[in-house]
Amino acid sequence: MKLIMPSMKVEDTMTSSLVLHATEAGNGRQTRQANQRYKDPSIRLEERELKPLAPDGLRLQMLRVGICGTDIHMTQKDPNGYVRCSAPASIPEHGRILGHEGIGRVIATGADVSSFRVGEIVAPESVLSCGLCRPCRAGAFNQCRHARLLGMENDGLFSAIADVPARSAVGIHRLAESEQGLQMAACLEPAGVALLTGLKAQMSPGDKVLIFGAGPIGLLCAMMARRLHGASAVCMVEPSAYRRDFAAAWTDQVVESVEALETPDGGWDVVVEASGILANVNTVFRQIAPCGRVALLGRGGEALLVEAVDHMITNAISVMGLRGHLGGVYERLIDLCVSGVLPLDRIVSTTMEGLDKLCHVLERPDSISSADCKIVVKLSS
C-alpha cells in the first residue's frame, strides 16, 4: 500500500472527538460495581482543542479504531442509572474521549522522541504503565501500580487526532501494506488480551476449552485455542444467534445456554469467562478437570461465587484474573499475523466510516451484541 501523507496540518489546533459525559454521583460514591461512581452517561461529537504535544508524545492521525465491549458499557446505564462499566474510569467535567483500540499515522513527535518518524503507522497499547514501580521493574507491566487506561482514565483514540505516549506505541509497518493487514492491526488490542489468556491459562495440545461469550475477545480466544495451542475441543456459550453463527468457524460446539452443553469426558481443562457474567463459572465448576484453569476476562462488577470449593481443593483448580497485553505481546501478534497463523481480520463483522457513524452506534449500544461482533471504524485513509 502506498504511504499517503496526512492531509491534516500539524499546526491544527482543533480536532473532532467522540466525548462521553456523565454526572459524578457525589463524593466518589461506590455502588455494587466497585469502580462505578458516574451516572447518566451521554455521548456526542465535539470539537476539542489540542493540547501542546508532550516531549515524550506522539500525535496521531487516527486511521482505524475498534469498538470494545468496555466502550459499550461506558455508554450504558445499569438499573439505577449508573454507568454500567466496572473498570477503572475517570470522567472529568468536560468529558472523556473514549477509545483504546486502533491505529494511527504519526503526524508529529515530541521533542524527546527519537524512535518514531512522521509518516509511520503505529498501534498504541491501551494500558499506560509507569515502567518504574515494583511490578513494572519485575516485568509485570499490566499490573503497574500507577497504570492509566487509555480512553478510560486518559483521553483515548475516538478522535481525528489523538496524542499518546511514544513508549506505548508499536510500529505496524509490516501490516500496513494491505487492507487486510490494516484490519488485523486494528484488532491487535483485543487479540493481545486473548494471547495472554492462552499463555497464562497454560492452554496445551489436547486441552478441552470452554469459553463463555462470543464477543471479539471470546472469539479470539477460540481462534487461538485452535490455531496456537492445539486444543482438542473448543466450545462456546453465547445467547446471541448472530454471534453463535459467527463463532462456528472456531468451535466444535456453540450453544445458547449452559444447559445445552455436552461436557467432554474428563471435564474442561480451561474455562474462559469473557461475557462478564461471573455466575457462569459456578454453573460448570464441578465439570472442570483436575488441574483445570479458570480465566476471568469479562468485567461485570459481580461477586464470584464458587460453591464447589471442595472440588476446587481436591482437583487443584486455579482461578485467575487477566487484563492487558503488555510485555511484547503486540510484536508477537504481528509475527503471527504476517505468517498467516492468525487471521485477526476474520472477527470483523462490520466496517464503517467516520466518527459520526461511530457516534450513532454508541448512542444505541444495546443493539450491538445481538446484531454484530467486531466493528472497525475507518477515520482516515
- Strands (E) located in the chain: 14-24, 38-49, 57-66, 96-97, 102-109, 121-124, 127-128, 148-149, 161-165, 169-171, 208-212, 233-237, 253-255, 268-273, 288-296, 318-321, 348-353, 374-378
Cα separation, 209 vs 341, in Å, equals 19
Distance separating the N- and C-terminal Cα atoms of the chain: 11
Fold of 190-321: Rossmann fold (3.40.50)
Cα separation, 104 vs 121, in Å, equals 6
CATH 3.90.180.10 residue ranges in the chain?
Answer: 14-171+343-378
Mean pLDDT, residues 279-298: 96
> Is pLDDT above 60 for 2?
no
Instruction: Assign 338 a pLDDT band (cuts: 50, 70, 90).
Output: very high
Q: Which residue has the higher pLDDT, 1 or 367?
A: 367
- DSSP state for residue 13 in the 8-state scheme: -
Mean pLDDT, residues 270-292: 96
- Strands (E) located in 297-330: 318-321
CATH 3.40.50.720 residue ranges in the chain?
Answer: 190-321
Mean pLDDT, residues 22-30: 67
CATH number for domain 14-171+343-378, candidates 1.10.1740.10, 3.40.1190.20, 3.40.50.800, 3.90.180.10: 3.90.180.10
Q: Which residue has the higher pLDDT, 37 or 168?
A: 168
Averaged pLDDT of the chain: 91
pLDDT, residue 3, reads 38
Cα separation, 357 vs 378, in Å, equals 10
pLDDT tens column, 30-39: 444 445 689 8
pLDDT tens column, 196-216: 999 999 999 999 999 999 999
pLDDT tens column, 292-302: 999 999 887 78
Helix (H, G, I), strand (E, B) or coil at 226: helix
What pTM was estimated for this model as a whole?
0.91
pLDDT tens column, 87-144: 889 999 999 999 999 999 999 999 999 999 999 999 999 999 999 999 999 999 999 9
Mean pLDDT, residues 345-355: 95
